[in-house]
Structure 1
C-alpha cells in the first residue's frame, strides 16, 4: 500500500511540482474549506474512478464480452470483477497491475506533462493507488508462488494454479 502511494506521489511531484505549493501544511498554515459542490464532484469522480478501474480489469480478460464466466458487481466494499476463465500466469499479472499503471502512473505522468494535473485529480490518483494495493498483493503472490507458464483460475476468494505442460 505504501509503495503504491510513494510511486504515485513521486510521479505527481516530479511532473507537477507546483502542486506542493497548494498543500496548506507545507506553507506554514492550515485552513480547510469543504464546499458542497467540491464534495459532490469528488464523489462523482470517485465513482467514475471505481468504474474505470474495474473496467480495465475486465477488458483484459480474454473474450470478456462473450464469456459466461465473467462477473461484475457491487458490494459494500465496492465494485468488483471476477472471472472463472483459465488464465495464464502472465495474463493474471497483467490484469492485476494494469489499473495501477494506467490510473496511478500514466494518467498523472501525462496530465502533469500537459499541465493539467490538479489537486483534485492528484487525490483521485492517490486513492486509486491505495485501492490498487490489493491488486498488487495478488500480483505479488502469483509471481512468488505460481511457476512461470502455469495456468491460474479464480473460484470466489480462492485462486488455484496448475503447471502447464
Structure 2
C-alpha cells in the first residue's frame, strides 16, 4: 500500500498492454466532476434510504442538525467539532474501502490519498467482480445503514452522528454510480483491474504485466 497526494494517472503503455491481453475498458465518467453530476440521483436515493433507517429508531429534525427554518432567513450552525468529525469521516470511509481489498498491506499497487474532492482508494491489483462490488459499497452499507442501527441500540444516535451518517450517505453516491457501471457492463466471474483512473475487465485467467 502506498500513500499519495494526487490521483494516480493512467499509464498509456500499460493501457496498450492491457488491450493486447484482451482486457476490456469500462465506460465510465472521464472526470470526478462528471461523476459527481451523474451521481446526483443516487445521492437523493441514498439519503432517502438512510433517513428511512434512522427514522425507524429516532426522529430526523432539521433543527437538531443546526438548521433553523423558523426565521425569515436560513440559519445554519456548524461547530469545530463537526468539522473535525467530517474530516475523520472521510478517512474512515476510505479506510473501509481499503480493508476489503485483498492483501492491501503488502500490495505495491494499492494507493490511498486525499485530493480537493476528498479521499480515494485505488488498487491496480487484479480483483474479482464480487470482491470489487464489496469494496465499492462497503462504506455506504456499514456507515449509513448498519451504524445507525447499532448506535440506536446503544442509545447514542446523537444529532452529530446523524449528520455524519447522512453526509456519508450522500458522499457514497459516486460509489453507487460505480456499482451500477459494474452491474450493467461486467458479466459474472469476470476479473477487474485498474490503470490509474481507468478500469478494465476480463474473463478467467490473468497474465502478469509490467509497466514498460
Please give the TM-score of this superposition, normalised by the length of structure 1: 0.89
Give 5+ residue unaligned stretches, structure 1: none
Q: Which moved more, 1:69-78 or 1:111-120?
A: 111-120
Partner of 1:4: 46
1:28 offset after TM fit, Å?
Answer: 8.0
Partner of 2:195: 155
Which residue, out of 56, 68, 71, partners 1:14? Answer: 56
Q: Is the 8 A contact 1:56 1:99 kept in 2?
A: yes
Q: Is the 8 A contact 2:69 2:75 kept in 1?
A: no
**What is the SS of the residue equivalent to 1:65?**
coil
Q: Taking CA–CA contacts closer than 8 Å with sequence separation of 6 or more, which of the two structures ends up with the larger relative contact order? A: 2
Q: CA RMSD in A?
A: 2.3
**CA 127–33 in structure 1, closer or farther in 2 if over 3 Å, else same:** closer
Q: Is the 8 A contact 1:149 1:164 kept in 2?
A: yes
In the alignment, the residues of structure 2 paired with residue 75 and residue 127 of structure 1 have an alpha-carbon distance, to the nearest angstrom, of 18
1:3 offset after TM fit, Å?
Answer: 1.0
Give 5+ residue unaligned stretches, structure 2: 1-42, 206-212
Q: Which moved more, 1:105-114 or 1:2-11?
A: 105-114
Question: Deviations for 1:94-141, whole angstroms, at most 9, x for unmatched residues?
Answer: 000100011101111111232211111111101000111111111111
In the alignment, the residues of structure 2 paired with residue 33 and residue 98 of structure 1 have an alpha-carbon distance, to the nearest angstrom, of 31
Q: Is the 8 A contact 2:136 2:178 kept in 1?
A: yes
**CA 160–48 in structure 1, closer or farther in 2 if over 3 Å, else same:** same
1:156 offset after TM fit, Å?
Answer: 1.7
Partner of 2:70: 29
In the alignment, the residues of structure 1 paired with residue 150 and residue 168 of structure 2 have an alpha-carbon distance, to the nearest angstrom, of 16
In the alignment, the residues of structure 2 paired with residue 74 and residue 116 of structure 1 have an alpha-carbon distance, to the nearest angstrom, of 30
In the alignment, the residues of structure 2 paired with residue 160 and residue 13 of structure 1 have an alpha-carbon distance, to the nearest angstrom, of 40
Partner of 2:111: 71
Q: Is the 8 A contact 2:136 2:175 kept in 1?
A: yes
Partner of 2:7: none
After superposing on structure 2, the runs of 4+ consecutive aligned residues of structure 1 that deviate more than 6 Å are none
Please give the TM-score of this superposition, normalised by the length of structure 2: 0.70
Partner of 1:125: 165
